[in-house]
Amino acid sequence: MKNICFYFQIHQPHRLKRYRFFNIGGDHYYYDDFANEDFIQQVAEVSFVPANRVILDMIKEYKGKFKAAFSISGVALDQLEIYAPEVIDGFRELADTGCVEFLAETQGHSLASLIDPEGFKKQVKDHSDKIESLFGQKPKVFRNTELIFSDEIAELVHEMGFIGMLTPGAKRTLGWKSPNYVYQSAAQPKLKLLMRNPKFSDDIATRFSNYNWSEYPLTADKFINWIAATPKEEQAINLFMNYEALGNFQKRSSGIFDFLKALPRFAAEKNIGFATPSEVLNTLKPVGSISSMHPISWVGEERDVSPWLGNTLQQEAFHKLYEIAERVNLSQSRRLIQDWIYLQSSDHFYYMGTKNDLPFSPFPSPYEAFNTYMNVLSDFKERVEAEFPSSIETEELNALLTTIHNQADEIDRLEETIKKLETKGNPVPAAKESKAAPKPKAAASKPKAKLVAEKKVEVKPKATEVKPKAEEKPKTTATTKAKPAAKPKTEAKPKGEAKPKATKK
């Protein structure tokens, strides 16, 4: 049976404000909050909120037969929680249906997978934890920033325990193969791959309302007929797109929501179902291996990483940022780490691109984007330098921090031990009070122990403790010293109560 696998991406960066050279060192806040709030609320109103409602209604109407998947970047989640919490509430409702899957990605929608493996893993873990805390799902499938994929990245993703990964379905990687199958990574065969179907995905995401398109208008029955016409053995039709395609890129007036609502009805007529990425990966076996020595993505004609790293401006900013990665990853400062995550968003590098028009850039030119980013980065590096001076080598710094952390752990451990000893020692005083008569001998042995300890320390403290020596009338206790030495052996066993009975006699 054929299954349509819908996957929607949601991401919005923290756009930078105009940050001039003279702000460096004096202004440590880099973001245009007004623009970010306005953009998030606008997109939520026209796209996210109505799309969530439509999908929830479809799940209910078709009794759980319609399914979809989402990945929401960490920076988008942060902004949605502040500026449009109703969107988060809508996703919680979708999560509760059991028909929606949330995927893992990087916390900052970053390019860390290309240069900083440890930082990449940390971001993915942080993002997975965030998804689980918000929606109650632990992600099983990974989706990298802009679907960037390579053999090296596949290794990292497998190490993190994911069962599968979404990939672009680029011609340069697939060659003659169809994207409508499950594949496995050539570098790590245990990692399954789902390939985006570029034609069917873009029919909805980019061509749907294009009057000049030969297939305009696109109706639900026409689209399902195209899918039904694919070879019978091609059972995974992967439609991966930006969630803003519903209501923002393709306006409500284009009929995009009506199109979406009608899909399950026509799909059922052709015996076509819907499935989440995990369901597809768990149901179908890989039919072959996919290898990519160089990173590929779902953006641009070349389907590579040139939209972010294609010119010298982008490369300069990218390498300047990640040359301080090791030091920032050592930091415990929440503010510093948060800025580090936000500054890694791929959008900042995309705005520096000179290849194509950049309709979503907040800057008038790529050069303005570069200058602003580098000014911000200069200030950020000064803050890192203040915490971790460059005069100390990174390895030495790492060793020092490890020592400090180990000492902190040791202090915590010792404090726990003290607490345990205190709680264990509490019953002892109570036991002493209940036996008033027998105490004399026990008391006699304690001062003796103190004196022995004091002798070991130094002679001067003993001078102040002359009284205890006088108190120790029983220096004749030299004879009693021998007896208590024999009695502890019996006291070591549960016969410790024998002493009191002897005195009572």
How far is CA 244 from its chain centroid?
A: 23
Does residue 69 carry a pLDDT above 60?
Answer: yes
Both ends of the chain: CA-CA distance in Å? Answer: 94
The more confident residue out of 396 and 272 is: 272
Does residue 486 carry a pLDDT above 60?
Answer: no
Given pLDDT bands bounded at 50, 70 and 90, which one contains residue 332?
confident
Look at strands 289-290 and 182-185 and give their pairing: parallel
pLDDT at 341: 98
pLDDT at 263: 98
Residue 29 maps to a domain: yes
The more confident residue out of 306 and 398 is: 306
The more confident residue out of 354 and 131 is: 131
Picking from 302-311, 384-393, 479-488, which range would have the lowest pLDDT averaged per residue? 479-488
Tokens of 326: 């090791």
Q: Give the percent of the chain with pLDDT over 90.
A: 72
Active site residues: 146
pLDDT at 505: 36
Q: Examine the fold and report which residue of 304, 322, 348 is the final residue of a domain before the chain moves on.
A: 304
pLDDT at 390: 74
Name the average pLDDT for the chain: 86
Picking from 222-236, 402-416, 428-442, which range would have the lowest pLDDT averaged per residue? 428-442
pLDDT at 487: 45
pLDDT at 267: 98
Contact 13, 75 (CB under 8 A): yes
pLDDT at 412: 77
Does residue 353 carry a pLDDT above 50?
Answer: yes
Does residue 95 carry a pLDDT above 60?
Answer: yes
For the ranges 78-87, 347-356, 442-451, the maximum mean pLDDT occurs at 78-87
Q: How many domains does the chain have?
A: 2
Given pLDDT bands bounded at 50, 70 and 90, which one contains residue 395?
low
Picking from 290, 382, 326, 322, the residue whose alpha carbon sits closest to that of residue 26 is 382
The pLDDT tens digits for 188-211 are: 999 999 999 999 999 999 999 999
Does residue 218 carry a pLDDT above 70?
Answer: yes
Picking from 342, 305, 344, the residue whose alpha carbon sits closest to that of residue 322 is 344
In degrees, rounded to 5, the angle at the alpha carbon of residue 416 between the alpha carbons of residues 411 and 418 is 95
Residue 197 maps to a domain: yes
Picking from 147, 155, 239, the residue whose alpha carbon sits closest to that of residue 191 is 155
Please name every residue paired with 236 in a beta bridge, in sequence order, or none if there are none. Answer: 3
Q: Examine the fold and report which residue of 241, 275, 304 is the final residue of a domain before the chain moves on.
A: 304
Q: Examine the fold and report which residue of 253, 286, 304 is the final residue of a domain before the chain moves on.
A: 304
Residue 366 maps to a domain: no
* Cα–Cα distance for residue pair 30/375, rounded to 1 Å: 10
Does residue 299 carry a pLDDT above 50?
Answer: yes
Please state the pTM of the whole predicted model.
Answer: 0.78
Longest dimension (CA), the chain: 115
Q: Which long-range contacts (CB under 8 A, 24 or more apart) does 457-465 make?
A: none
pLDDT at 432: 45
Does residue 245 carry a pLDDT above 50?
Answer: yes
3-state secondary structure of 102: strand
Residue 300 maps to a domain: yes
pLDDT at 408: 66
pLDDT at 501: 43
Q: What is the 3-state secondary structure (H, E, C) of 315-349?
A: HHHHHHHHCCHHHHCCCCCHHHHHHHHHHCEHHHH
Q: Give the percent of the chain with pLDDT over 70.
A: 80
Residue 146 maps to a domain: yes
Residue 64 maps to a domain: yes
Residue 88 maps to a domain: yes
Given pLDDT bands bounded at 50, 70 and 90, which one contains residue 388?
confident
pLDDT at 399: 58
The more confident residue out of 439 and 355 is: 355
Does residue 131 carry a pLDDT above 90?
Answer: yes
Given pLDDT bands bounded at 50, 70 and 90, which one contains residue 170?
confident
Does residue 358 carry a pLDDT above 60?
Answer: yes
Residue 196 maps to a domain: yes
Contact 239, 7 (CB under 8 A): yes
Given pLDDT bands bounded at 50, 70 and 90, which one contains residue 400?
low
Domain residue limits at 499:
426-504
How far is CA 261 from its chain centroid?
A: 33
The helix (H) or strand (E) run that includes residue 240 is strand 236-242
| CATH number for 205 | 3.20.110.20
Q: Compute and round to an integer the Cα radius of gyration of the chain.
A: 34
Given pLDDT bands bounded at 50, 70 and 90, which one contains residue 504?
very low
